[in-house]
Amino acid sequence: MNAPLRIGIAGLGNVGASLVRLIARHGNELAVRCGRPIEITGVSARSRNKDRGIDLGHAAWFDDPAALARDPRNDVLVELIGGAEGAAHAAVAAAIAAGKRVVTGNKALLAAHGMELARQAEAANVSLNFEAAVAGGIPIVKTLREALAGNTVNRIYGILNGTCNYILTRMEAEHLGFDECLSAAQRLGYAEADPRFDIEGHDTAHKLALLTAIAFGTEIDAGAVYVEGISSVTSADIEAADELGYRIKLLGVASRTESGIEQRVHPTMVPKSSAVARIDGPTNAVAVEADFVGQLVLSGPGAGGDATASSVMSDIADIARGNRVGTFGRPASHLDPYRQAGIRKHEGGYYIRLAVYDRPGAFAAIASRMAERKISLESIVQRRRAARSDAPGHLIPVEPAPVILITYETTETAIREALRQIKADGQIVGEPQMIRIEPFA
């Protein structure tokens, strides 16, 4: 038997504690599979005395994760602290500086500092593995970096945030409003007390930015991701989508276009028959479209201590086996600069919901604004609301009528301009709702 691989674990939250349990339960098997034992030689966490229900054995305790990172008794730093700055960043940088290999599940850290850390790791000739940073237990990083090495990826998209997918699934299944479902998600532990990072799409954007770098061989640029969250999605939208044969999902989408790589996160109407439409609850899914393989879809748990620990262990096993791949499926030095295809160049179909004043000419004015921008309408659904008839022969509309338009393919610029003018014309109440449609398979 070869010498053990000695790992230091920084961060003993859900994932860290699951990893300790995994190594305890499967230690003998891991030694057979990896050709050497995996040994936890050091740990670090905020509180030493908290009962985590795990046995830390002879692992040395470090209050400072950077000290753990530098400790010569371990070969690998497993960073599960989280956060883009502070302790996590310091520990990873210290580990690389000490010539340690690094495994991290920290998407925020990589979204912010991934390029710099990858360059440092490669200069130090150590690997930087991050399977757990994207889509929990789904091995999408390995699939892109290794299994699809012979492909050019044209598009990658997916449901990358279980909180949002849980909320949208529940809104649809139980005809509930957004706020109610968010509260339920918080009660069940699917959403944080401060849910903004998830529901506003930023978590998805971080993960998408990492996938984009691997899939398209471009530098990480999380700031270039166009982001819209799900809080504006209403029951009315979900019901209309259902009637039209769609479901609404928060997707991260990155695709190769003529003007560069488009990266966007927003609520999306997808055909009910598509692979991503059928992903319910907190489950994640990633679809990859590539020239040789065609379409590949991976689905599984997007979060949770055990599932994420499975991905962390995958990275550790690679290191134990002596296997190594460029940080992004190629070295960071071989990434192209990210060339952004702005959201305004986006082309596609749109779902529009307007609250239209029920008066003569209102709809004609709206239709004209669409026509001026050469936007063709595939379908129009107008539902007349209840009206009073106080004076005989005189119907007084009590509230604006909802009008739903589905457009044929047009550009983001055209639709935004048309909606701006429709609003300026004073024919609608409030803001128009606009949800992009994707004809995914």
Residues catalogued as catalytic: 207
- Give the whole-angstrom CA distance, residue 267 versus residue 269: 7
- Per CB under 8 A, the list member of 317, 367, 377, 401 interacting with a second copy is 317
Closer CB to a second copy, 59 or 205, in the complex: 59
Which region, judged by CB under 8 A, interacts with a second copy, from 159-167, 186-194, 288-296, 372-380?
288-296
Asked whether position 306 contacts a second copy by CB under 8 A, the answer is yes
152 binds a second copy (CB under 8 A): yes
**What is the CA angle 107-108-109, rounded to 5?**
90
In the chain, DSSP finds a helix count (H) and a strand count (E) of 14, 19
CB neighbour list of residue 222: distance below 8 Å, 6 or more residues apart: 111, 112, 205, 206, 209
Residue type, 373: R
Q: Cβ of residue 417: shortest distance to a second copy, in angstroms?
A: 39
Q: Which of 46, 48, 175, 334 binds a second copy (CB under 8 A)?
A: 334
**C-alpha dihedral sign at 420, 268, 193, 66:** negative
Q: Can residue 148 be called a binding residue for a second copy (CB under 8 A)?
A: yes
Question: CA 421 → CA 111, 365, 370, distances in Å?
Answer: 37, 10, 9
- 16 is a site residue for a second copy (CB under 8 A): no
Q: Minimum distance between the CB of residue 145 and a second copy, rounded to whole angstroms?
A: 8
Alpha carbons within 13 A on the beta-carbon side of 97? 12
Binder among 290, 352, 370, 404 for a second copy (CB under 8 A)? 290
DSSP characters over 182-204: HHHHHHTTSS-SS-HHHHTTHHH
Among 267, 304, 400, 432, binds a second copy (CB under 8 A): 304
Instruction: Tell me how long the chain is.
Output: 441
Residue closer to a second copy, measured from CB, 80 or 403: 80
Q: Establish if 299 lies at the interface with a second copy (CB under 8 A).
A: yes
For 376, the token pair is 């063709």
Stretch that binds a second copy, among 116-124, 162-170, 228-236, 295-303 (CB under 8 A): 295-303
Shortest distance in whole angstroms from residue 293 CB to a second copy:
4
Q: 211, exposed or middle or buried, with CB in 10 Å at 0-12, 13-18, 19+?
A: buried
Judged by the rule CB under 8 A, the positions of this chain that interact with a second copy are 18, 22-23, 25-26, 29-30, 32-35, 131, 137-139, 142-143, 146-152, 217, 275, 278, 290-301, 304, 306-307, 309-314, 316-318, 321-326, 329-330, 334
